[in-house]
Amino acid sequence: MNKIILADSQAIFRAGTAKVLAMDEDLRIIAQCTDLERMYHAVTTFPNSIVLFAASLQPDFTRLGMLLETTNSRGIVIAENNENAASYMQQGFRGVVFRSVTGPALVECVRRVAAGDSWLPTQSAPPEAIEEDLVGARVRDRLTPKEMRIVALIVQGCKNREIAIRLKTTEQVIKNYLRSIYDKTGVGDRLELALFTIHHRVLAKAAAEVGSKLEAENQAANQAASQSASGAMA
């Protein structure tokens, strides 16, 4: 049984990765970490493990490399889709996967590294050479503005109640919209929806842009409410 430590601040991607790895009988996730300190603690507590961690956590790679060597563990980097995978291998990590990695490729990577081999993505095209995402574009164009807002919040890990509050509606309305979104994307639940979005560049970009607008609107609303409260107290 190969022990896996999974570290990533993105809840949806972490959940999807755990779901994929749990389907392999030879792989066992023994810790899920949302930040660096928890990851360092897990690596120290569970030696001889495979540490699958997101580069976006921005660890001290030298410190982490030494810790992995001390605990006889191996590191696999979850890189963003436009990063240079080879640079991580040069720092001594045993494998690299992009966030757009498929389930079978992820499992194969972990199994290879566990067996003492290394794994580098077979397709590491530079950002300017990323192929056109026809599926993502088609789904993006089919979604209404309201549906895209819901998708953006789903990717951020929001639950139905939080989405309803953010969009000033009810949970039942959100559930109704989700059924329509599932039909248009061909997925069965919110986790599959989030992973589908992440894996399709055009759709992911659209969702990120909408998410940024929603966050700006939320911050502006909070600031206005704070100023209103301060004025009332004065």
The answer on 8 and 120 residing in a single domain is yes
Last residue in a domain, options 93, 108, 125: 125
The answer on 117 and 30 residing in a single domain is yes
The answer on 152 and 224 residing in a single domain is yes
When divided into structural domains, the chain yields a total of 2
CATH number of 145's domain: 1.10.10.10
The answer on 218 and 113 residing in a single domain is no
Lowest mean pLDDT among 71-85, 153-167, 209-223: 209-223
The answer on 91 and 52 residing in a single domain is yes
Last residue in a domain, options 87, 103, 125: 125
The answer on 97 and 17 residing in a single domain is yes
- CA neighbor of 16 nearest in space, from 152, 157, 149: 157
Q: Mean pLDDT, the chain, as a whole number?
A: 88
Lowest mean pLDDT among 15-19, 132-136, 138-142, 157-161: 132-136
The answer on 105 and 50 residing in a single domain is yes
pLDDT digit string, tens, across residues 7-28: 998 877 888 888 888 888 899 9
CATH number of 116's domain: 3.40.50.2300
Q: What percent of the chain shows pLDDT beyond 70?
A: 93
The answer on 89 and 9 residing in a single domain is yes
The answer on 173 and 112 residing in a single domain is no
Range(s) of the domain holding residue 217: 134-233
Q: Which two tokens stand for residue 217?
A: 């609107």
The answer on 108 and 216 residing in a single domain is no
Global confidence as pTM: 0.68
Mapped onto helix, strand or coil, the DSSP state of residue 93 is: coil
Q: Which two tokens stand for residue 204?
A: 């992911």
What's the pLDDT at 126? Answer: 44
Please say if the pLDDT value at position 125 is more than 60: no
The answer on 185 and 138 residing in a single domain is yes
What's the pLDDT at 60? Answer: 95
The answer on 159 and 71 residing in a single domain is no
Q: Band of the pLDDT at 132, cuts 50, 70, 90?
A: low
Q: Which two tokens stand for residue 39?
A: 């990851």
CA dihedral of residues 166, 209, 17, 165 (deg, nearest 10): 0
- CA neighbor of 1 nearest in space, from 25, 31, 30, 32: 25
Q: Give 4's strand partners.
A: 29, 50
Give the whole-angstrom CA distance, residue 123 versus residue 4.
25
55 contacts: CB under 8 Å, gap ≥ 6: 77, 78, 79, 80, 83, 88
Last residue in a domain, options 105, 125, 145: 125
- CA neighbor of 107 nearest in space, from 201, 26, 5: 26
What's the pLDDT at 83? Answer: 84
